[in-house]
Amino acid sequence: MSRSLPALGLCLLIVGCSGATRGGQDGVWFEDEAAARGIDFHHRSGFSGRHLMPEIMGGGVALVDVDGDEDLDIYLVQSGSLYPDDESGTVDRSNRLYLNYAGTFVRAQGGHGADDRGYGLGVAAGDYDNDGDVDLYVTNYGPNVLLRNDGLGNFEDVTQASGVGDPGYSTAATFADLDADDDLDLFVVNYIHWDFAVERDCFIAGVLTYCPPTNYSAPMRDRLYRNNGDGTFTDSSAESGLNAAFGTGLGISSADFDGDGLTDVFVANDMMVNQLWLNRGGLRFVDEAAYRGVAVDSHGLAKSGMGVAAADADDDGDTDLLVVNLAEQTDSFYRNEGAWFADATEAVGLATTSRRYTRFGVVLADFDNDGRLDLYEANGGVAPSETEHEGDEFAEPNTLLRGTSDGRFAEVLPAGGTAETLIHTSRGLAVGDVDDDGGLDLVVGNRDATPYLLMNRVSNRGNWIRFHVRTTTGRDAHGATVSANVGTRRQHRRVAPEGSYVASSDPRVHFGLAGETSVSEVTVRWATGETESYGDFEAGRTYDIVQGSGTP
């Protein structure tokens, strides 16, 4: 998140730019329906004259079924104010939960216990106690909060009892079964050691703005909490090997990156080398980012790593990585070659198109259901931008790119795939099918503004199929990989709610099928190492898959 003025040229906003493509009817893929569907949340950074580092980073979101009715609710993280004595009542400090009723959202009365009032940045979702409902972990500047779900969408703050109230400056987090014992551990990404006493005044082109993390020289260690299976966690950061490195972490993804059957963790760091924590068993990890080719880009540069997307973009059976960065820095697309990663940013068409804006949230998902992953990036500056909008000097349009048959990404116009270009300081980004019509929708958190609820309006979408993959306890099977034959192609999709930036997405596994009407030879490789076969399925609906019900 190092600061520099955005590159000149707004090709994205001009129909006919090189590399751009129209998609759907008149290029419209999404329509913002947040207000129409009942979302009245307004994010507050708390900026009041002095630029305080955490103020530029908030806007976390989650798409998650908290009440067990099989549709996606929305959780929005509020920041509020960094001034503890500001209790005038004019600053909204409460996170908000909106319950989904047939595609319309109603604010949970009294917050249902999920209205944490810390200075919020992000959220992770996962059933840590294996009781079949989804719990929430909120990352704050200041103590983080674990909220236990009672199954009906009512939450209890169990932070103290569970032992996961990291008191630092946390950004991303993920629940993952890192020791293969069938419960979810918790990995927390921390940024820098910061407080009012170390804040500085920084200028770019003579304009006072937020400082880069390098000005503080105070990176933090991330934390790993081992799930004890009884509702409590043990801080295993030192024993696991994480204390061997510091970082300025912003993005995280967990997957079996080296194919050894154990879940690994990738952390994107801001102006420092990234970390790839490879799991060696027994909850021991070794950082092999430099050895595997994901610590820096192909030029040896450590970029301003923010959001992360991890998916099998080339259908070869392993998980690739996409890290988004600051304006004037390209995205970094790391193609998994098995024993190492190759920087394929230019080969996939992102070397030029990704440079114009500062990207935070990012998802790889098949929005048009043609069987190829598309790319959506949530943009917003950290220094005054050329696209200032309605008094927001950091505002930038978001970016949508369509996956093509030759393995590249091509821009969709109008910008962001909406009829009217939306311009705000976007941060958190979550993906999921909000109205269960087979098209993937998006929720975008915007700093000092209302969020977007982008409903999928791609015309002539292809067929689709979805799998809700659960363990024997009923929880979402984080880290499991579903594989299926889609026509002549074997495709692989993971249960991966984490990723993007300070966000949690729908854990259900979605396949776009183009013109295919079924999938065959469906298998699931579970995070605990076993693989099961489940046969063939018809398109056009969501199927439950439960661990142990298939054929080994």
Chain segment 157-208, per-residue pLDDT in tens: 999 999 999 999 999 999 999 999 999 999 999 999 999 999 999 998 888 9
Q: CA of 368: how far to CAs of 210, 267, 457, 499, 522, in Å? A: 38, 29, 9, 21, 22
Which pLDDT band holds residue 310 (cuts at 50, 70, 90)?
very high
Answer whether residue 474 shows pLDDT above 50.
yes
pLDDT single digits (tens) 92-133: 899 999 999 999 999 999 999 999 999 999 999 999 999 999
Residue-level pLDDT at 89:
58
Q: In 10 A of CB 174, how many CB atoms?
A: 28
**Region 372-401: what's the mean pLDDT?**
92
Beta strand ranges found along 44-103 (DSSP E)? 61-64, 73-76, 96-101
**Rounded to an integer, what distance in angstroms lies between the CA atom of residue 10 and that of residue 423?**
13
- Per DSSP bridges, beta strands 30-32 and 61-64 are unpaired
Please provide the distance, in angstroms rounded to a whole number, between the alpha carbons at the two ends of the chain: 46
Per-residue model confidence as pLDDT tens digits over 28-55: 999 999 999 999 999 999 999 899 999 9
Percent of the chain with pLDDT over 70: 94
Q: Which of 19-23, 65-69, 83-87, 532-536 has the lowest mean pLDDT?
A: 19-23
- Can you spell out the DSSP letters for 237-276? HHHHTGGG--B-EEEEEEE-TTSSSS-EEEEEEBSS--EE
- Residue 86's pLDDT band (boundaries 50, 70, 90)? low
Global pTM value: 0.94
The model's confidence at residue 388, banded by pLDDT at 50, 70 and 90, is: confident
Instruction: List the structure tokens of 54.
Output: 């955490």
Percent of the chain with pLDDT over 90: 89
C-alpha 239/C-alpha 301 separation (Å) is: 30
> Does pLDDT of 25 surpass 80?
no
Residue with tokens 């906003």: 13
- Whether the per-residue pLDDT at 10 is higher than 80: the answer is no
